[in-house]
Structure 1
């Protein structure tokens, strides 16, 4: 009877050892697959999430700055149009001969 228990005990030890070996092989395969995937992705010039977020923030800041500069340019152009319009009005105003001949007197 004792010999039967010993066979079962040895069999249980072998099965437990095999399960541990299979689990170790699984961890090793996963690690190897992760390493190969990282090497493959690294070769495709992908960027990390941190790098992507940093560049995204820079693009948003650049877009905001461009919009601010566009608004400033529009305001400056509107001011020049007003000045140019005033100058055109003065230039297009017909002068009479009496006004042209008479000097302006400032008191």
Structure 2
């Protein structure tokens, strides 16, 4: 009878060791797979999500800056057109004006 509990204790020890070894193998397999995938990604010239997001943010900021500059340019062009119209109105001869007497 005393041999039976020792057998179960030994069996439990072997099972615990096997589970520990399987966990170690799993970690090793994950590390190997991760290293191979990183190597594959490096060879394919793929970008990471963070790099893509940063590039998209830069592009969005540049697009917003360009739209703001275009809006400002449109305002400046309309102001220039108004000023040019005023200048040409001042330079145009007025037919109703009396010519000065130069004699």
* TM-score (normalised: structure 1): 0.64
In structure 1, runs of 5+ residues without a counterpart are none
Counterpart position of 1:43? 43
Give the CA RMSD over aligned residues.
3.2
**What secondary structure, in the 3-state scheme, does the structure 2 residue paired with 1:46 have?**
coil
Q: What is the rounded CA distance, in whole Å, between the counterparts of 2:101 and 2:67 in structure 1? A: 47
Count of equivalent residues: 100
1:63-103 Cα deviation digits (max 9, x unpaired): 23212211221122112222333427854x6859xx6xx45
Q: What is the rounded CA distance, in whole Å, between the counterparts of 2:67 and 2:28 in structure 1? A: 53
Bigger relative CO (Cα 8 Å, ≥ 6 apart): 2
Counterpart position of 2:24? 24
Q: What is the rounded CA distance, in whole Å, between the counterparts of 1:40 and 1:5 in structure 2? A: 52
Q: What is the rounded CA distance, in whole Å, between the counterparts of 2:22 and 2:28 in structure 1? A: 10
Q: What is the rounded CA distance, in whole Å, between the counterparts of 2:78 and 2:61 in structure 1? A: 26
1:16-35 Cα deviation digits (max 9, x unpaired): 22121111111111222222
**What secondary structure, in the 3-state scheme, does the structure 2 residue paired with 1:76 have?**
helix
Matched, 1:14 2:14: yes
Counterpart position of 1:58? 58
* TM-score (normalised: structure 2): 0.66
